[in-house]
Amino acid sequence: MRLVLFAGVAVIAACTAAADTLKDGAIQVKPGKYKWQQETTVIGFINSKEDNLECLIPEKASITMSRLARELDESCTIDKVAPAAGGYTFKLNCKGDIPIKADATVSHTPTSLAIRANGSATVLGVVPASVSAKADATYMGDCTPEEIARETARYAEENR
């Protein structure tokens, strides 16, 4: 499982998928350059941090909670999506290399995004561990034409 990317997928994930259920929630932010800061911890096993700039093209500025879960890991699903202040709460269940069950929240404004998740994991098939993740994205301005071209080409390749 790509725990390092746990939070980052919300900002860099592909657009809303038609297969997402009607009970799903969706968020949208303004396309542009975002400062991304995230931290994911599986107590005693993993502590990863990321801090960078990302160019978010219009095709990637909208995402459903189901898509966010699938971008994290193909084994991840969501349940109990409910509207919350500025976003949604939901249950995240992943059956991948490190099974995870977490309570998660996503909140946003047109120029910011925040994700929080807390739950439990099973490491090495038997060792229980707590999991926490937090991420914040803040709009920093427009992307350069070169960044837009690069991200548009990447998006086209990923969605063939």
Q: Give the pLDDT score at 23.
A: 66
Q: Give the pLDDT score at 11.
A: 37
Phi, psi (rounded to 5 degrees) for 89: -115, 150
Give the model confidence (pLDDT) of 8-19 as tens digits.
443 333 333 333
**pLDDT > 70 in the chain, percent:** 85
Paired with 131 in beta bridges are 42, 119
Position with higher pLDDT, 1 vs 30: 30
Give the model confidence (pLDDT) of 115-160 as tens digits.
899 999 988 888 889 999 898 999 999 999 999 999 999 999 988 8
* Secondary structure (DSSP) of the chain: --GGGTTTHHHHSPPPPTTS-TT--EEE---EEEEEEEEEEETTTEEEEEEEEEEE-GGGSEEEHHHHHHHH-TT-EEEEEEEETTEEEEEEEE-SSS-EEEEEEEEEETTEEEEEEEEEEEETTTEEEEEEEEEEEEEEEPPPHHHHHHHHHHHHHHT-
**pLDDT > 90 in the chain, percent:** 44
Q: Where are the domains of the chain?
A: 3-16+25-142
pTM for the full model? 0.76
Q: Give the pLDDT score at 17.
A: 35
